[in-house]
């Protein structure tokens, strides 16, 4: 008896999950049941798939994930801590059941199966550790890991401040901050993680510690982009920044303007005239309708963008224009209109150098053309698939703020110039497409990357100030891979600059000598 979705479980996730997840198990073990009973006995709310599958809290914990593939996993139980002490108690119990897998869930927006979900293990959901409390001097806010960015933005709005957050309100705080976090405010204040001043963390030995500049400073650094293998974060203390009315929202364009849009994106990123401005440019190809269109997310931290900032975009005919002056929280909320539940997703990440002038435009537009060609040739055999490609500017201004804030695990430097963080997104309807989706994601991104590296070898990115020789293999601008957009078989931490992977690995071993996290929960590993 495994709850309402039990019957479809094995078949539906089978192929995809078994590629990624040695932990996936189709049945709930006696030890998992015993761990759930022990958790329940602590008094912390624990709901089992066996007995509580009609409980609304259980249903939300088990099934409210962005990707429908993840929502098919059935935990032995979901446990709902309301304090760091509760999380510590949960870790103590889990240490007594060393063969029971577990998962930590925040917003459930990750796309890797078995990372914030578990098939047959203990699901620790942070949904009841989700408050946002501003400090007395209003310089920082304490944010619970179960919160979503829209809730954070709404809670801070009355004080005319906000934090460096996700760009869609529905995304969770926990995963986004631990993977670095790219925000509309990043060109002003760095990555989201650069703004964290303290992490309250439960370690593998159940100790509750503060990781900050003076307490566990190595762990503090590792949590800034190193992911979920170091501890369970129970509170983030994050710097606030003043915010008033902002301008922005979504514009949809016909695919026939692809080249003009991509040229405008390249110009915007090459010569960042105003750090208060930000964009995400996404091109979408829906196989069934053969529809090709672009959605561009615009942002300006001010009531109206000054002339010049978005001129090249404004010159392109638009089909739908939702950009307007509004509060920051309303903007995050409006951006959620693109956020569709009920589909299965894979996301893959790449970093491209922002090359100067014609080479830069050719790299970006050539990339789109090849992606589209792939979708039209290979994808056409797969009804129901949507292919999308996102261009996310990463100008040198962002690492400049990261470095000024003390640095993070990604290790980027402003001297390496301007980059583009690419995100390739594959959406489809049923488990039957899982194998194809994975093969296509691998194939198209590998093809694009080798084309880019061989065609544009030896050209330095705009604003590059290094003295190193730019070759196809060293310092060519194809790293780091952004963890928050990375697929389970990519190696983002290994791609971090400056040999940071080795340092992360050493810190992981030091705080978790028994391998509590690597052995028992999904995530990007340090092994």
Ligand X SMILES: *[C@@H]1O[C@H](CO)[C@@H](O)[C@H](O)[C@H]1NC(C)=O
Residue 105 binding result from ligand FAD, ligand X, none, given CB thresholds of 5 to 8 Å by partner type: ligand FAD
What's the min distance (Å) between Cβ of 256 and ligand FAD? 26
As given in the structure block, the two tokens for residue 76 are: 């032995």
Please give the Cα distance from 421 to 351 (Å, whole number).
5
Closer to ligand FAD at the Cβ: 81 or 414? 81
As given in the structure block, the two tokens for residue 164 are: 């460096």
Q: Could you say which residues in the range 99-118 bind ligand FAD, by CB under 6 A?
A: 103-110, 115-116
Using omega within 30 degrees of 0 as the cis cutoff, is the peptide bond preceding 480 cis? Answer: yes
Q: Could you say which residues in the range 234-293 bind ligand X, by CB under 6 A?
A: 237, 250, 252, 259-260, 263, 271, 273, 284
What are the helix (H) ranges across 381-499? 397-404, 434-455
Closer to ligand FAD at the Cβ: 13 or 178? 178
- Among 164, 157, 159, which residue's Cα sits nearest to residue 185? 164
Residue 203 binding result from ligand X, ligand FAD, none, given CB thresholds of 5 to 8 Å by partner type: ligand X
3-state secondary structure 223-275: HCCCCCCCCEEEEEEEECEECCCEEEEEEEEEHHHHHHHHHHHHHHHHCCCCC
Closer to ligand FAD at the Cβ: 126 or 203? 126
Closer to ligand X at the Cβ: 89 or 111? 89
Q: Which stretch binds ligand FAD (CB under 6 A): 55-63, 167-175, 247-255, 293-301?
A: 167-175
What's the min distance (Å) between Cβ of 103 and ligand X? 20
What's the min distance (Å) between Cβ of 381 and ligand FAD? 26
What secondary structure does DSSP assign to 17-44, as a single string? HHHH-TT--SS--HHHHHHHHHHHHTTS
Residue 160 as a binder of ligand X (CB under 6 A): the answer is yes
**Bridge partners for 265 per DSSP:** none
Q: What sign does the dihedral 411-371-344-250 (CA atoms) show?
A: positive
Q: Could you say which residues in the range 12-51 bind ligand X, by CB under 6 A?
A: 42-44
What's the min distance (Å) between Cβ of 340 and ligand FAD? 9
What are the helix (H) ranges across 271-390? 311-314, 328-335, 357-377
What's the min distance (Å) between Cβ of 24 and ligand FAD? 15
Backbone angles phi, psi at 134, to 5 degrees: -85, 145
Q: Which residues of 34-69 are buried (b: 16+ CB within 10 A; e: fewer)?
A: ebbebbbeeebbbbbbeebbeeeebbebbbebbbbb
Contact residues: ligand FAD, CB under 6 A: 66, 103-110, 115-116, 126, 145, 166-168, 171-172, 174-176, 178-179, 181-182, 228, 232-233, 339, 484, 523
* Interface residue list for ligand X (CB under 6 A): 42-44, 82-83, 85-86, 89, 159-160, 197-198, 203, 205, 207, 210, 212, 214-215, 237, 250, 252, 259-260, 263, 271, 273, 284, 295, 320, 337-338, 358, 361, 374, 377-378, 439, 443, 510-511
């Amino acid at each position: 008896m495994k709850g309402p979705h039990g019957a479809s479980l094995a078949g539906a996730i089978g192929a995809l999950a078994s590629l990624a997840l040695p932990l996936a198990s189709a049945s709930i073990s006696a030890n998992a049941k015993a761990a759930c009973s022990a958790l329940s006995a602590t008094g912390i709310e624990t709901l089992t798939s066996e007995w509580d599958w009609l409980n609304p809290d259980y249903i939300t914990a088990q099934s409210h994930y962005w990707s429908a593939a993840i929502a098919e996993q059935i935990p032995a139980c979901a446990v709902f801590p309301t304090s760091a002490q509760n999380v510590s108690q949960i870790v103590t119990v889990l240490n007594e059941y060393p063969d029971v897998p577990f998962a930590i869930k925040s917003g459930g927006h990750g796309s890797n199966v078995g990372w914030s979900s578990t098939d047959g293990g203990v699901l620790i959901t942070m949904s009841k550790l989700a408050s946002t409390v501003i400090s007395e001097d209003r310089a920082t806010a304490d944010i619970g890991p179960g919160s979503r960015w829209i809730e954070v933005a709404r809670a801070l709005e009355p004080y005319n401040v906000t934090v460096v957050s996700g760009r869609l309100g529905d995304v969770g705080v926990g995963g986004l901050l631990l993977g670095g976090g790219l925000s509309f405010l990043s060109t002003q204040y760095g990555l989201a993680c650069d703004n964290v001043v303290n992490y309250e963390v439960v370690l593998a030995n159940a100790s509750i510690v503060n990781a900050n500049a003076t307490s566990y400073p190595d762990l503090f650094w590792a949590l800034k982009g190193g992911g979920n293998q170091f501890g369970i974060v129970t509170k983030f203390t994050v710097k606030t920044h003043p915010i008033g009315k902002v301008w922005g929202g979504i514009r949809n364009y016909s695919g026939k303007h692809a080249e003009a849009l991509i040229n405008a994106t390249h110009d915007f990123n090459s010569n960042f005239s105003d750090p208060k401005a930000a964009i995400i440019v996404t091109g979408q190809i829906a196989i069934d309708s053969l529809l090709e269109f672009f959605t561009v997310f615009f942002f300006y931290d001010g009531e109206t963008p000054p002339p010049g900032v978005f001129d090249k975009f404004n010159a392109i005919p638009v089909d739908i224009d939702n950009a307007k002056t509004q509060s920051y929280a309303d903007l995050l909320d409006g951006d959620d209109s693109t956020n569709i539940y009920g589909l299965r997703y894979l996301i893959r990440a790449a970093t491209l150098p922002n090359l100067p002038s014609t080479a830069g435009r050719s790299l970006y537009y050539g990339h789109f053309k090849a992606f589209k060609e792939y979708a039209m040739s290979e994808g056409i055999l797969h009804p129901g698939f949507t292919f999308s490609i996102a261009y996310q500017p990463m100008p040198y201004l962002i690492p400049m703020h990261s470095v000024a804030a003390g640095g993070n695990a990604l290790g980027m430097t402003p001297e390496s110039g301007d980059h583009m963080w690419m995100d390739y997104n594959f959406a489809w309807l049923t488990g039957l497409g899982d194998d194809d989706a994975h093969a296509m994601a691998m194939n198209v991104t590998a093809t694009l990357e080798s084309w880019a590296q061989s065609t544009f070898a030896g050209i330095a990115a705009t604003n590059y100030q290094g003295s190193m020789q730019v070759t196809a293999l060293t310092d060519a601008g194809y790293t780091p891979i952004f963890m928050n957009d990375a697929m389970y078989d990519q190696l983002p931490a290994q791609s971090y600059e400056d040999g940071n992977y080795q340092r992360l690995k050493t810190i992981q071993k030091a705080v978790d000598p028994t391998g509590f996290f690597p052995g028992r929960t999904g995530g990007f590993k340090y092994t």
